[in-house]
Structure 1
Amino acid sequence: MKRLSVSAVKSASRPGRFSDGDGLYLVVQPGGSKSWVCRVQKAGNRRDFGIGSAAKVSLGEARERAREIRSQVEMGLDPLFERRKAQGIPTFREATAKVLAAHRKSWKNEKHEAQWQQSLRDYAFPHIGNVRVNEITGPMIRNLLSEIWLSKPETARRVRQRVGAVLNWAYSSGYRDSEAPMQAITKGLPRQPKQDGHFAAMPFTKVPAFIPALRERESFSRLALEFAILTASRSGEVRGATWDETTLRTACGPSRRAV
């Protein structure tokens, strides 16, 4: 197969993928931008690794990088993970900041982000905050959870979920070579006691002040709770209610009390 030349790379303008051999391709986009891609196949699995823009990476550099990628794959290494290591692997604290930034647009309010930060700052950072994400092990996670697993079960479950989310982001970003072993960690912790009995009822004198505070929250559960308070309905009836069971009150005409 004929290999590319420096002049051919510079003059390439037709959109498409042009082979240089050994899995290295010059990719020309419809807009005219050019980039390098190395395609590697092993054990029936094929992966493409971006090498960079052809405007910044020369043909010789692309060939050298492609050879390095193929060698890493042959040795059983993940080229993406190796590249991340060369760039510098973040600590758990740094990775948390990246995860929060990535999810910030999808969260409806700032309270959720504040809860994330507070729980990890209080219970995870003292143990693994300054540890690089590729060095965090199952026992490390288990140790930080064990301190609050029985005394603060709900908080512990949230911390577990958030630690797992950060480490899974690190894995998908190439900073870890495995996902977070959260299921195995949970099995290694004692069974949390079930909460028996009912929650204490709020004194009716405090309900008028509670309703405005409830309305500041943004969730369907907030609406369901307000509906239950205003209609004196049972919680099970509220959770299982359907629209055909409800008649909305209008300005005139008969109406039925909502069930």
Structure 2
Amino acid sequence: MKRFSRTRQQGQATVWILAALALAVMAFLSGEVDRIVEAKRQARPALQAKYLQDSGAAIAHWYQRDLATLDADGAPALTEADVLAGAGLTPRYGLRLAISQPIRQGNLRWHSIALWLPPEANDATTFDPATGRLTPDPRALSYVVSGQAFQQAAWQRTTEAVANLVSALNAYAQQRSRSLGGDVTRNPFRALNCGQVEAGELPCLDDYVPAPTIAAALGLNPGQLVDAWNQPLLVSGGTDANRTAAPYSMAVKATTPWGASLVSVALQSLH
């Protein structure tokens, strides 16, 4: 009887010990969960900011990749689905997007794309689709991708490509004039016989044609004779050029995807 009583007391003590250990473990785990939740809460703003920055960079990369089509005449209106798919984005943290109408200024055309992470309630963010202006809620994180800078850079690269081709044509004309004995009455930008173009001569181009067709005569690579939207530059010895009397000229033209034109001329030197 005494042995049974002692065994029962030992069993009860073991139960109490196990119960105390279980309570200690539960208290520890509860504290750990609280610490994890708090750590995640504190890390959330930094994670949101990084997500927004990375998303903006992805949209900018997509915009530059499709520079020739996004702002082209006749292009369909951009949608949120287009932007997400093009940039490869999955919306998180309540991501919001807004896209402007095509914005035109001078020779340029572009879209502005705004993205922001709104506050948990009562988001006061506004976006003007006509101007691309974003006015974010003070509590929101925001980012704007403007195509203006991208298209401005493309216009500048195209201007340089046109200038380089004009320089090459000027150099060609000087060399050609020397081969003609300095006779300034001869048009160096046209073959002597339009029906039979000799080696080293330029064909008689009365209208604009792709510049790569004359690359070999100029000693250039056809890949050098394209604009920033990967379209060939155009050359003409008739339209926009002077072919009637010295100084003769040849026109070089580039056209943006939205139809703006850039024209420059190579001019015969009379000296």
- The structure with more radius of gyration: 2
Of the two structures, which has the highest relative contact order with CA contacts closer than 8 Å and spacing of 6 or more? 2
* Bigger proportion of residues as strand: 2
**TM-score in terms of structure 2 length:** 0.23
* Bigger proportion of residues as helix: 1
**TM-score in terms of structure 1 length:** 0.24
